[in-house]
Homo-oligomer: A and B are copies of this chain.
Amino acid sequence: MSAIPFDKLIVQEVAPRDGLQIEPTWVETADKIALIDALSTAGFTRIEAGSFVSPKAIPALRDGEAVFQQIARQPGVIYVALVPNLKGAERALASRADELNLVMSASQTHNRANMRMSCESSLAAFGDIVRQVKGSGVLLNASVATAFGCPFEGKIDEDRVIAIVDAYREVGIEGITLADTTGMANPRQVARIVTRVLARLPAAALTLHFHNTRGLGLANVLAAYEAGARRFDAALGGLGGCPFAPGASGNICTEDLVNLCDEMGIPTGIDLEKLLTLSRGLPALLGHDMPGQLAKAGRNRDLHPVPEYVLHI
Contact = CB atoms under 8 A, between A and B. Distances in A.
A212 B242 CA distance: 21
How many chain A residues sit at the interface, stated as a range, is: 35 or more
A267 interface: no
A245 interface: yes
Interface string A292-312: 111011101101111101100
Given A213-B293, A213-B297, A306 B113 contact: yes
Contacts of A135: none
A45 interface: no
Contacts of A184: 300
Interface in A179-220: 183-184, 186-189, 212-219
Interface stretch (A2-10, A33-41, A147-155): A147-155
Contacts of A303: 151-154
Interface stretch (A14-22, A69-77, A87-95, A246-254): A246-254
Given A154-B301, A304-B244, A294 B215 contact: yes
A219 to B, nearest CB: 4
Contacts of A117: 313
A116 interface: yes
| Chain B CB within 10 Å, residue with most, of A183, A212, A300 | A300
Interface of A: 109, 112-113, 116-118, 149, 151-155, 183-184, 186-189, 212-219, 222-223, 242, 244-249, 253, 256, 259-260, 263-265, 289, 292-294, 296-298, 300-301, 303-307, 309-310, 313
Given A112-B313, A153-B303, A219-B260, 10 more contacts: A112-B310, A117-B313, A152-B304, A184-B300, A187-B260, A188-B264, A212-B293, A214-B293, A214-B294, A222-B223
Contacts of A253: 215
Contact of A183 (B247, B297, B305, B306): B297
Contact of A215 (B149, B244, B256): B256
Contacts of A309: 113, 116
A296 B219 contact: no
A215 B293 contact: yes
Q: Is the interface of A mostly helix, strand, loop or mixed?
A: loop
Nearest to A289: B247
A153 B294 CA distance: 19
A154 B253 CA distance: 24
A47 to B, nearest CB: 22
